[in-house]
Amino acid sequence: MPALKHYPSINLNRELLNTSNTAHFNVGEIFIPVESESVLKRISRTFFESGFWKALDEARSARAREQSPLISTTADYFAHLLELYRRLKLEVFPHTQKLSAERIAQYAETRDWIHSGIRYIAWHTHLFKVAVAGVDDVVRIYSKITDKNAGIGPVLKSPTQTQITCMAWRPLCAFELVVGCHQGLCFWIIDNNMHLGRSINPSHTFKHPSNLPISSLQWNKDGTLLATASLGDRAILIWHADDGKIQPLKRLGPPSSLLSWSPDNDHLIASTVGHVFRMWECYDRWKTERWVCNSDSVQSTCWSPCGRFLLFVATKDPILYCIRLVQLHINPSKYDNEVMPIADLNACVLNDRSNTLIGGPAQQLAMDPLGKYLIVTFKSTNYIAVFRTYIGQYEFEISGGHYLSGESADEYPSYICFQPLNMDNDRSVLTIGWSGGRIQLYVLN
């Protein structure tokens, strides 16, 4: 493998272990409430300390029921009405259920998103910068190693930045990073004046209009539009970065889970938590085309560098699919606008003595910026499949390549991506975030 000079060595394992040993406590565990409080005063205090639902639980507690049966009975009726409303809402809108961490992990491209040491990796489009989000809700910035720079940059951590799901550097902008998380969007300005250490103040924070977590975000090619999706909202939000306006793209159906902008800036693919996914035409007043995945929801997508082919996999189906976005001008085929299966990813045994399996339902796809390799990770097997690709004007072909493995049999890839081509890089550098917090850089010839 070619040498990777000036690339930082990244391993979050030690820092993650230190974070896990940090003591966590709340005020209620330290200070003992006054026993002489009245029921109403105790409920009010609980409301301001822990919110509405904890206050309702306090009103229905055995202690409150003994002191004031009328208040507890009223709280019981109120809780019953809220439960009826919740059930009716779920019957009519089944996708509005509470967005727990388990539900977010179900549709995340990151494998074992809840427990994995690395949750997301984002390379800068034009510069030698990479942002790594850990399970500890900290974003660490790394850069090129030089005589004057050790490659370690600022650490971004804030109380408004928890359960990080996605990140992206703004194109044509050297210092702006946006982080999607449970609270919404955190915009960080990372310039040369930011000293090493922890920064706790994002330059801007934006909440989803319905106060929902952000599950996916993507900048367009020129950095003027930011598309975001949430598992609890049917609409895709288009944020106009310069003037702060929000344009919702609404259609009937389940909410979106994953977004991906085409390299030519013409299309935005939006997969949902159901069988439906949509192709938005950005150049034609956001006209949309509806597609259906026969097996299940779309798990991961990737574009060919030319933007003529879209590859995707479903959550439970071990098949690689392709959509051709360019039509034949001579002898057009009936398959021009259909989803075509191009590879069987069913698990098979490697040629070794341990009967190790590779394959199965895919977790994530990534294509190198030169269009020569397709990388596939899997949900239940720990090897990474590397396929060779051929991209013609009207056809896309795939052939077998090789596989990559971790340092141990139990180590699995959490997240993968490629470093973009720019003035600092002219090679296909695969970035692998392993489950233990280690990042591996692998050059594909």
Asked if 138 and 181 sit in the same domain, the reply is yes
| Statement to judge: residues 58 and 135 lie in one domain | no
Same domain for 272 and 417, yes or no, is no
Q: What was the pLDDT predicted at 21?
A: 46
- Report pLDDT for 16: 63
User: Residue 22: what pLDDT?
Assistant: 45
Written as tens digits, the pLDDT of the chain (445 aa) is 455 788 888 888 866 655 544 444 444 444 455 556 788 988 898 888 877 888 889 999 988 898 888 999 999 999 999 888 877 876 666 555 567 888 889 999 999 999 999 999 999 999 999 999 999 999 999 988 876 776 788 899 998 899 999 999 999 998 999 999 999 999 999 876 665 556 668 888 888 888 889 999 999 999 999 999 998 888 999 998 888 788 999 888 888 899 999 998 899 999 999 888 999 988 778 888 888 887 789 999 999 999 999 999 999 899 999 998 876 444 555 445 678 899 999 988 876 667 788 889 999 999 999 999 999 999 999 999 999 999 988 889 999 889 999 898 889 999 999 999 988 888 899 999 999 899 999 999 7
Mark whether 231 and 210 lie in a shared domain.
yes
Domain count, the chain: 3
Nearest to 168 by CA among 129, 219, 212, 220: 219
**Residue 95 backbone phi and psi in degrees, to 5:** -90, 5
Instruction: Assess whether 52 and 171 both reside in one domain.
Output: no
Q: In this structure, is the dihedral angle defined by the CA atoms of residues 154, 159, 164 and 170, taken in order, positive or negative?
A: negative
- For residue 370, tell me if it sits in a domain: yes
Q: Which of 74, 92, 110 is the last residue of a domain?
A: 92
**Alpha-carbon span 20 to 117, nearest angstrom:** 11
Backbone φ, ψ for residue 388 (5° rounding) = -90, 145
Q: How far apart are CA 118 and CA 11, in angstroms?
A: 10
Any domain includes 270: yes
Reported residue count of the chain is 445
Last residue of a domain, one of 244, 261, 292: 292
Task: Identify the domain containing residue 51 by its residue range.
Answer: 38-92
How does 358-389 read in b/e, with b if 16+ C-beta sit within 10 Å? Answer: bbbbbbbbbbbbebbbbbbbbbebbbbbbbeb
d(Cα 270, Cα 227) in Å, to the nearest integer?
A: 10
Residues 142 and 212 in one domain: yes
Same-domain check for residues 318 and 404: yes
Token pair, residue 12, equals: 């979050």
- Out of 292, 314, 347, a domain closes at 292
Does residue 8 lie within any of the structural domains? no
Regarding whether 129 and 65 lie in a shared domain, the answer is no
Element of type H or E holding 193: none
Determine whether 68 is exposed, middle or buried from the number of CB atoms within 10 Å of its CB (0-12, 13-18, 19+): middle
Q: Do 60 and 155 belong together in one domain?
A: no
Distance, in Å, from the CA atom of 127 to the CA atom of 420, rounded to the nearest integer, reads 9
Asked, for residue 1, whether it belongs to a domain, the answer is: no
Q: Is residue 6 part of a domain?
A: no
Same domain, 276 and 149: yes
Please check whether residue 25 lies inside any domain of the structure: no
Residue 23 lies in a domain: no
Q: What is the CATH number of the domain that holds 133?
A: 2.130.10.10
Q: Say if 205 falls within a structural domain.
A: yes
* Spatial separation of the C-alpha atoms in residues 197 and 213, rounded to whole Å: 27
Supply the pLDDT for residue 29: 47
Same domain, 407 and 263: no
Note whether 227 and 338 are same-domain residues: no
What is the arrangement of strands in the sheet containing 204-206, beginning at the earlier edge strand?
A: 166-169, 176-181, 184-189, 204-206
